[in-house]
């Protein structure tokens, strides 16, 4: 089995149409990148889980906001660390595919033997 872990805001800022959506409505952009990740899962096959990690704002963490189960939010400024934490959490559940072009995230993902995918790879498959 494979697990797909996506650096949400990194993808939003690297894909023009997602960035344009974010300029209008950040929630819609988050939902769109989550939709892209799930479409990638469907196209590739063999992916048992999708997790899209976003850098959150701690002051909003207690709000009861309905959001897709695939979306994970970090504490303020802890997005990259939350991605690495998510990699560690799912490391033994299958092979990992990490979508990001952030050097810190990519280097850590390599250390955990994850496969890497550039953000544009989500829409080119």
pLDDT in tens, 97-114: 999 999 999 999 999 999
Please, what is the end-to-end C-alpha distance for the chain in angstroms?
19
pLDDT for the residue numbered 125: 53
pTM of the model as a whole = 0.89
From the list 1, 60, 62, the residue with the least C-alpha distance to 26 is 60
Beta bridge partners of 5: 51, 98
113: its two tokens: 């033997």
pLDDT in tens, 62-74: 444 656 677 877 6
Burial of 62 (0-12, 13-18, 19+ CB in 10 A): exposed
Cα dihedral 77, 121, 15, 17 in deg (nearest 10): -130
Instruction: Delimit the domains of the chain by residue range.
Output: 2-124
pLDDT in tens, 43-101: 999 999 999 999 876 444 544 465 667 787 767 777 899 999 999 999 999 899 999 99
45: its two tokens: 């096959």
**CB–CB of 43/125 below 8 Å?**
yes
Class for the domain spanning 2-124:
alpha beta
Q: Distance between CA 114 and CA 116 in Å, rounded?
A: 6
Eight-class DSSP state of 58: G
């Amino acid at each position: 089995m494979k697990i797909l872990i996506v650096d949400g805001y990194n993808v939003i800022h690297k894909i023009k149409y997602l960035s344009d959506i974010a300029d209008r409505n950040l929630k819609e952009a988050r939902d769109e990148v989550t939709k892209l990740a799930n479409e990638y899962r469907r196209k590739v096959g063999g992916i048992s889980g999708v997790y899209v990690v976003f850098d959150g704002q701690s002051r909003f963490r207690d709000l009861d906001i309905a959001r897709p189960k695939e979306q994970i939010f970090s504490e303020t400024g802890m997005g990259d660390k939350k991605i690495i934490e998510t990699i560690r959490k799912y490391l033994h559940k299958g092979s990992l595919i990490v979508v990001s072009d952030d050097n810190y995230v990519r280097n850590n993902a390599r250390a955990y033997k994850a496969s890497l995918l550039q953000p544009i790879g989500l829409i080119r498959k």
